[in-house]
Amino acid sequence: MTPIDAKRPLQLNDQGQLRHFLSLDGLPRELLTEILDTADSFLEVGARAVKKVPLLRGKTVCNVFFENSTRTRTTFELAAQRLSADVITLNVSTSSTSKGETLFDTLRNLEAMAADMFVVRHADSGAAHFIAEHVCPEVAIINGGDGRHAHPTQGMLDMLTIRRHKGGFENLSVAIVGDILHSRVARSNMIALKALGCPDIRVVAPKTLLPVGVEQYGVKVYTDLAQGLKDVDVVIMLRLQRERMAGGLLPSEGEFYRLFGLTTARLAGAKPDCIVMHPGPINRGVEIESAVADGAQSVILNQVTYGIAVRMAVLSMAMSGQNAQRQFEQENAQSPSVSLALASSTRPPAWTRLPICTSAKASSCPWAPRPQASPPARPWKPTA
């Protein structure tokens, strides 16, 4: 029997399956391949007359977007609906958060509605991890993009796009071009490409838009677009993240386009069958020429379609990882060895660790207060 490991990665259960999806850091190639294979099978569902499977029937998925989004939010909604879940989307800019409610209180209320999954987008790096650490452990958290840190479903939909158009990763040269410094997409893509065995990963950007130490991701750095694009199989363009830029990192958008914009002439330096990708939203004439964005080599709209299938895969795998974890814990609850492991674990008592774990579902939540151990009812208040 496997003892419960208090140090296991937050996003995996005791059997190494996904239970949250927070970042691609440290995820093994087998798990990434399983996500791609599962997504491949869901692509067929999107092509049916009735685009539904019952995998999440009776489950509630709550999209909580603290930052603007069109593609990611709507494709998560569609993915959850195609899995037959009930879906709520909270537009935080018009919700109680704008009336002063804290993140904790917003999430406590959603927990009280017995949501099973939260898809979270937040401007702060680490927000999804923070929520996963504090929410009731049976709720799955899916990161829909946190600050500059990670955008793991975008990373996986980009990998699905590459695999479907190029057949694999083993012999590929891939260039990621543009605002690497502020891009969570670039980070997730570098990690995924490395883990999946891509031998030649290039980042191409002006020096001011390259993070210090980016070579640690196993990438080659180019500050000249022609050199960076030479003979590549895939080019991933990035948007200039103006909202995250402080100070004059660029002389002007025109100057950026002149040196780093992807035009038909520049694309000619790549392999003739090179595919062009972009996570969207695209800025025509800033990072990409219209003729390229709409041209025969562009797979930008395919990415959007594949995004639904990848999100279906991640939602269904995380829910099944959560269910497996519940079952594992129930089966082992009576075992003396596991009881000992739990007794010696470093988890602090529920009332100090889980300020938001007091939902309607708390009775089935292993870390929630048991009736005999609960202090007298007192409202939880955020610390000053």
Instruction: Please give the residue ranges that form the binding site for ligand NCD (CB under 6 A).
Output: 71-72, 145, 151, 154, 184-185, 239, 279-280
* Nearer to ligand NCD among residue 181 and residue 368 (C-beta): 181
Shortest Cβ 9–ligand NCD spacing (Å): 23
Report the distance separating Cα 163 and Cα 156, nearest Å.
Answer: 10
Shortest Cβ 332–ligand NCD spacing (Å): 39
Report the distance separating Cα 4 and Cα 344, nearest Å.
Answer: 11
* Nearer to ligand NCD among residue 64 and residue 368 (C-beta): 64
* Nearer to ligand NCD among residue 66 and residue 137 (C-beta): 66
Shortest Cβ 22–ligand NCD spacing (Å): 15
* Nearer to ligand NCD among residue 122 and residue 239 (C-beta): 239
Report the distance separating Cα 196 and Cα 190, nearest Å.
Answer: 10
Shortest Cβ 98–ligand NCD spacing (Å): 21
Residues 6+ apart with CB under 8 A from 179: 186, 205, 209, 238, 239, 240, 241
* Nearer to ligand NCD among residue 261 and residue 279 (C-beta): 279
Report the distance separating Cα 121 and Cα 326, nearest Å.
Answer: 26
Q: Which of 197, 94, 191 is closest to 151 using CA atoms?
A: 191
Report the distance separating Cα 50 and Cα 142, nearest Å.
Answer: 26
Shortest Cβ 123–ligand NCD spacing (Å): 10
Shortest Cβ 35–ligand NCD spacing (Å): 17
Report the distance separating Cα 327 and Cα 320, nearest Å.
Answer: 11
Is-contact 201 158, C-beta < 8 A? no
Is-contact 1 335, C-beta < 8 A? yes
Shortest Cβ 136–ligand NCD spacing (Å): 27
* Nearer to ligand NCD among residue 4 and residue 312 (C-beta): 312
Residue 173 identity: S
Report the distance separating Cα 366 and Cα 230, nearest Å.
Answer: 55
* Nearer to ligand NCD among residue 137 and residue 279 (C-beta): 279
Instruction: Return the SS3 of 87.
Output: strand
Report the distance separating Cα 195 and Cα 24, nearest Å.
Answer: 9
Is-contact 302 162, C-beta < 8 A? no
Is-contact 297 267, C-beta < 8 A? yes
Shortest Cβ 15–ligand NCD spacing (Å): 30
* Nearer to ligand NCD among residue 35 and residue 185 (C-beta): 185
CB-based closest residue to ligand NCD: 239
